[in-house]
Structures are given as structure tokens and as C-alpha cells.
Structure 1
Amino acid sequence: AIQHTQEKFVALADQDDIWLPNHLEILLDTIGDKMLACGNAELIDKEGKSLHKLLDYQEALDCIPENDLEKAYSVLFFRSPYQGASMLIKKEFFDLALPILREAKAHDAWFAELACFYGGINYTKSVITLYRQHGNNCVGDARLIRNSRVKSFIGQLLHNQLSNRAIVIDQILSRVPFLSEEQHLFLKKSLSLFLIRSSFFGRVKNAFFIMKHYKKIYSCK
């Protein structure tokens, strides 16, 4: 469907969620010169009643840094807080983003990972989507409680978590035609870390990297 789109912007929608009337207006005001814009969402139950929770609060999102390379630390080494149903994307972005990388697990995670290095992301905390929770979500309750920092850290030390990220980085390196020296060095360093995660020594080395960049990965404060 995206490939057949002729318009300048593409907005993604999930059939069980609700767009607020100013959904597109806010995203258009937010995107600026970036490739991707994303807004916040309020959680509702299957009847459409508010659960009085915001998605970025549930995701334990302290803040989102302005710099796109700073965004990449959390997106690659923890998880992406950007919800596809609250995204607006410039059509030209899909020249590189398609086909969607299967190993990225989710289309919105892939778009966010790529956008950190190709065109950038603007985020607004304004609520533009009502995110329905009904027990049968393809992505829902399990995502809403963002893994605690300590739990995530221990999990990465004990298990080969995020093993798919090496493929993600390799695809970014091969698809993006121009990367700054800083971006290239970050991706190469990250790739080397993900490639050695299969061994316990590799996971320990990853743990030291996470400790060194703890604030960038789990909180920009």
C-alpha cells in the first residue's frame, strides 16, 4: 500500500485505535525538515474509555533527546518508544525503508532505527491517538510496561538479547547512501558489540558499554 501511495506524506493507522481530530495537523506541524514525526497516545479500554495512562509514561520515557544520534542509543540498545499508529512519514523515506526489514520484528521499530540515521525524527508529547487495549492486541499490554532499566541490564548480561540488531545495523549501513563520520563510527561500534553477544564475554563487554552510556540508553536526563 505504501509503495502505491502518491502523496508527499504517509500516516500509519491501526484499525482498533482512534485518531483525535487534530492528529494529522499536529504531526504536520511537528515533522519540520525531518523524515519522520511521532506523537503521544492515551490508553483506552476495549469500550473506548480512558485508562488515564499515556504511552510515553508507560514506556518510562523520561525524555527524547533532540540529536538523532542520541536517540539511536535507546532505539538500538533498549527499545523504540515510537508507535507506528502515531507516525507521519515523508514518502521519500520509503525509497530506503522498503522492503521492511523482517529481523526488526516491528515495522515502526525499523522505521525509527533507520530514521535516526536517515532524515531524523521529531517527537511531540501531544496526545494524538487513543491506543486501544482489549486483550487481543498484536502489540499491546506486553509493550506498555517498558522493561525496567535494571531488568533490561541483567537480561542483556545473562542472555543474548537484541541479537537481531546486528542485521538491523548492517542494513542501515548498506541502505543509507551518506553517513557522517560520527554516525558511521557509532554504527560500526554497535555492530561489533552485537556480533559478540552470543558469548558470555561478549555480553559482559556489552554490559560495560551500557554502563558507560547508561543515561543515553535509558534516560537522556
Structure 2
Amino acid sequence: MLTNQTQFPLISIVLATYNGAKFLRTQLDSVLQQDYPNLEIIVTDDNSSDDTLAIVESYQSKHSIIQIIKSTINQGYIKNFEQGCKLAKGEYVALCDQDDQWHPQKISKLYQAIGDAALVYANSVLCNENMEPIGVTIADRVNCKNFSSPLEQAIFCRIYGHAMLIRNEFLQNIFPFPTIIPHDWWIAYTATVNGGIRYIPDQLAWYRQHSNNVFGAVGGKRNKAQEVQVALKEKQIAQERIELFYSYCPSDLEQEKMVLAKLNQYYHGSGLFNNLQRMILFFKYHQQLLASKKRSQLRQWLFCLKMFVKII
């Protein structure tokens, strides 16, 4: 139990809300039950039309560490999180979804583990809509470990914002959050070249999967309408993402910069030779490019083969 507030730097919890009244109380209760003694809670509401604001205001009346930022327009979850992060005064920042539940020691354990890394993240228990564990954790489905190369986050990111603690000095230097990828992917990618990413296996959050977030859930399935939408935009988004990642990667990381430059070239190019070069590049660097995927060697090779006909 952490009790002496003077020994611990301020940590900002940024809770982004939007029409989250159904599950919000569970999350707020778990945040307020953290044993870390020096917190501020910044709630940024994205123009909710349900009882979300009323719920947060009722908690604010009893807890002075809560501040509320109300948006008059709906700006989307990425910019909603960005708004809260820009206001964070803490030395560290923890991102908070509106529908999960945190372990009482989540913040304290992440704080103790971050060291000199840009961010640290932990494992989470996957739950159904009623917050009942479904028998697996995120680490059962994806490869959770320390990451230190931008190539390891360039194709897939399986580090989720709700599980992160982020060094604020680093965070304030990566605005604006691009809107072509989730904010936590941008944070994870940029963290690899600003101190690295540390992982601890502790299960510190219960991650609720339900109809409003299943598209983003680990192992979740898209419905047909989402499949059509994703298919139309996937190539353009992948091209823009790789170009963005290439531009951000510092030149002193010579190998990583070279690989990202070739990825950028082969993602934008066309023709059989271009596609063959893209596939060969994936085979050569598959251990880094597929570092987040928990797959057998055979399945990794099959994925590389698929890169001859499409980009991801």
C-alpha cells in the first residue's frame, strides 16, 4: 500500500467519455480505489447525449481530484483523448476507457515498473459485457513483451491504451495524434524511439468486450458493413501509416529507417516486381514486423506470402 503522497509524483488519469453511462460507474469506482496516493483525474466528454456527464458531475462533487472538460461538438475518441492528454499536469499519464475496471494496484504497479522507459503496459483479463472473465487474457492472444524497435510496431500494434502508463514529457512531444490510426498505436510506435516500451505480466485491468467496442477488441470480429468499409479504406490507410512512420523514424536508426523507406516505397508502388520485393522484405524482417503476432513460424511465413497480393 502506497501511503506517503510526498514521495510519489503526480500521475494524471485521462478518462475519455462518450455516451458511457451504462458502465461508467464501475470504472470510476475502480479508478478512485487506486492505492497510488497522488492522482488527478481528467474527464474529457465528447458531447455525450446520455447521463454520462451527470454521473461524472456527481462523482466530482465528492472527489476534488476530478476535473471535467466538456466538448460542445463530437470530435471522435482520438481527439478526445488528445485533449485530455494535453491538459495533464502529472509526470506520468494513464489512459482510461469508460467501460473497463482497474485492479486497485494498477497505477502503483505500473509506476514501480516504468523505470526509464517511455511507457509501460500490463496484461488484462478479457471479459464479456457483464464483466465476467471469458477465460483468456490479452497475453494469451498476442505477443506481449518489451519493445525497442519501431519496426516492431509498424505493421501491428497490440498495446492498448487502457493498459499503459506513459511518461508525460515524452507524450507532450508527439502531438497532434494522427487520426488515421488509433491514438494508442501512435503512442506505442513513437515510444519505441523515445526510451522504449516495458511490459509486466500482471493482470491489472478487466477489459470489457461488448457491442460498442467489439471492433477494437482483441480477437473481435467485424460485421459485414464494417468489412466493406475497412476494405475500401484499408490500402490508403496502410500507405499513409507507413509514410507517417517512416517520416517519424530518426535517421540515426539506419537499419530501421532503411526498412521503413523500402516499406513506404513498396506500399505505394504497383506491379509484380514491386509486390515481390514487398513480400521478400517481409520474409527478411518478419521477426520484427510481426513481433506482436502470436503465430507459429509457418503462419508467419504464410502471412509474408500474403503480402505479395495485399498490404496491411
TM-score, L = length of structure 1: 0.78
In the TM superposition, 1:31-42 aligns within 5 A as 31-42=114-125
Query: For residue 101 of structure 1, what is the amino acid of its counterpart?
Result: P
Does the CA-based 8 Å contact 2:128-2:209 persist in structure 1?
yes
Does the CA-based 8 Å contact 1:35-1:115 persist in structure 2?
yes
Q: CA deviation at 1:28?
A: 0.7
Does the CA-based 8 Å contact 1:166-1:195 persist in structure 2?
no
Q: Which has the higher contact order (CA 8 A, sep 6+)?
A: 1
In the TM superposition, 1:75-114 aligns within 5 A as 75-77=153-155, 79-103=156-180, 105-114=181-190
Secondary structure at the counterpart of residue 33 of structure 1: coil
Q: Distance in 2 between matches of 1:14 and 1:218?
A: 27
Q: Distance in 2 between matches of 1:95 and 1:219?
A: 27
Q: CA deviation at 1:16?
A: 0.5
Q: Distance in 2 between matches of 1:43 and 1:86?
A: 12
- Aligned mate of 1:115, from 158, 171, 191: 191
Q: CA deviation at 1:38?
A: 0.8
In the TM superposition, 1:1-221 aligns within 5 A as 1-59=84-142, 61=143, 64=145, 66=146, 68-69=148-149, 72-77=150-155, 79-103=156-180, 105-137=181-213, 139-141=215-217, 143-144=218-219, 160=235, 162-173=238-249, 179=250, 181=252, 183-198=253-268, 199-200=270-271, 201-219=273-291
Query: For residue 196 of structure 1, what is the amino acid of its counterpart?
Result: Y
Quickly say closer, same or farther: Cα 1:165–1:202, change in 2 above 3 A.
farther
Query: For residue 35 of structure 1, what is the amino acid of its counterpart?
Result: A
Query: For residue 219 of structure 2, what is the amino acid of its counterpart?
Result: L
Secondary structure at the counterpart of residue 206 of structure 1: helix
Deviations 1:187-206 (A, max 9, x none): 24312322332314333212
Does the CA-based 8 Å contact 2:246-2:260 persist in structure 1?
no
Q: CA deviation at 1:20?
A: 0.8
Q: CA deviation at 1:169?
A: 1.8
Q: CA deviation at 1:56?
A: 2.1
Q: Distance in 2 between matches of 1:9 and 1:40?
A: 19
Does the CA-based 8 Å contact 1:165-1:194 persist in structure 2?
no
TM-score, L = length of structure 2: 0.57
Q: Identical aligned pairs, as a percentage?
A: 24
Quickly say closer, same or farther: Cα 1:204–1:111, change in 2 above 3 A.
same
